[in-house]
């Protein structure tokens, strides 16, 4: 009898732990979905802050699922017309001033994007925080007045990611992604991402301001602001082509 009771308890505990892990993944998925939708079209402003100077870059963006993304630079004038395309496993950069199409190899996905604290990977989200990691709720904390889960993301063995660990804070009721910390393979903090200024964008409430702050460069910060975004628009895969990169105005 005691053995049956112990077995039942162990089975229940295993089920509860499995459900808890599944809940953590679902929480991350829903928080990520707020920025994606099935497709999207938007306008953003990026502000690069350095101890002695600031620079502002304006852009338009389009996305379709996780596989297709396109970003068109609208300002400043010297960089206007540059286009970045992610199509499935490949990423390309069209530079109109020299009329050159540049393929960005996987080895450069973690390089700085346009001199900012965001990487190429951040902009097109080549790696997926949902499918490339395991997820575990490790605590709870109040962030900007929102009761939030603290979730640890550990990369899967063969996942195409460079982070040794990611910590995310996601609000319990609203699924707002409020903060992330990115650690290298030695457990050293590399970047902190802070999300704030929650507003209604199209059909949803979401953070509209993202700050990426490197841990080892004092006075460095990059701010990405969503000025406008529409979700679940009609857009075809053919829009995300090298030919279209050259036609955008």
pLDDT tens-digit readout, 180-202: 999 999 999 999 999 999 999 99
Whole-structure pTM value: 0.86
Phi, psi of 171 (to 5 degrees): -65, 140
Residue of 9, 27, 53 whose CA lies nearest to 129: 27
Residue of 49, 104, 103 whose CA lies nearest to 222: 49
| Averaged pLDDT, 88-94 | 89
- Whether residue 15 is predicted with pLDDT greater than 70 in this model: the reply is no
- Count the alpha carbons within 13 Å of 95 in the hemisphere toward its beta carbon: 9
Q: Residue 218 corresponds to which tokens in the numbers above?
A: 């004092």
- Whether residue 66 is predicted with pLDDT greater than 90 in this model: the reply is no
**CA 70 remoteness from chain centre:** 15
- Whether residue 19 is predicted with pLDDT greater than 60 in this model: the reply is no
Cα dihedral 182, 185, 190, 191, rounded to 10, equals: -10
Percent of the chain topping pLDDT 90: 73
pLDDT-derived band at 37, boundaries 50, 70, 90: confident
At CA 59, angle to CA 54 and CA 63, rounded to 5?
Answer: 135
pLDDT at 20: 46
For residue 159, what are the contacts with CB-CB under 8 A and spacing of at least 6? 127, 132, 133
Helix or strand or coil: residue 50? coil
Q: Are 49 and 223 in contact (CB under 8 A)?
A: yes
How far is residue 190 from each of residues 71, 165, 197, 212, measured CA to CA in Å? 25, 10, 24, 10
| Averaged pLDDT, 27-37 | 90
pLDDT-derived band at 9, boundaries 50, 70, 90: very low
Q: Is 219 exposed, middle or buried (0-12, 13-18, 19+ CB in 10 A)?
A: exposed
For residue 93, what are the contacts with CB-CB under 8 A and spacing of at least 6? 82, 83, 84, 85, 101, 102, 104
Q: Residue 171 corresponds to which tokens in the numbers above?
A: 């609000």
The chain-wide mean pLDDT, for the chain, equals: 88
Q: Are 109 and 92 in contact (CB under 8 A)?
A: no
Digit-coded pLDDT (tens) for 109-155: 788 999 999 988 777 665 678 888 999 999 999 999 999 999 999 99
| Averaged pLDDT, 30-56 | 94
Domain 29-64+112-233 bears CATH identifier 2.30.30.30: no
């Amino acid at each position: 009898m005691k053995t049956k009771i112990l077995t039942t308890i162990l089975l229940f505990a295993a089920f509860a732990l499995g459900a808890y892990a599944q809940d953590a993944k679902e929480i991350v998925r829903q928080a990520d979905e707020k920025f994606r939708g099935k497709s999207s079209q938007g306008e953003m402003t990026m502000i690069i802050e350095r101890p002695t100077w600031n620079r502002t870059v304006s852009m338009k963006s389009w996305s379709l699922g996780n596989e297709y993304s396109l970003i068109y630079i609208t300002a400043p004038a010297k960089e206007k017309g540059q286009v970045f395309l992610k199509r499935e496993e490949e990423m390309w950069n069209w530079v109109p001033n020299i009329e050159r199409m540049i393929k960005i190899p996987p080895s450069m996905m973690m390089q700085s994007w346009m001199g900012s604290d965001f990487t190429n990977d951040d902009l097109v989200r080549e790696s997926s925080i949902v499918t490339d990691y395991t997820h575990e709720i490790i605590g709870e904390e109040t962030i900007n007045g929102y009761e939030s889960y603290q979730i640890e993301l550990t990369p899967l063995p063969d996942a195409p990611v460079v982070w040794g660990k990611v910590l995310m804070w996601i609000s319990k009721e609203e699924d707002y992604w409020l903060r992330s910390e990115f650690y290298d393979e030695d457990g050293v903090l590399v970047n902190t991402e802070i999300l704030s200024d929650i507003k209604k964008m199209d059909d949803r409430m979401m953070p509209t301001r993202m700050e990426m702050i490197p841990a080892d460069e004092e006075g460095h910060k990059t701010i990405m602001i969503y000025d406008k975004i529409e979700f679940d628009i009609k857009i075809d895969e053919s829009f995300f082509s090298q030919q279209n990169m050259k036609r955008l105005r």
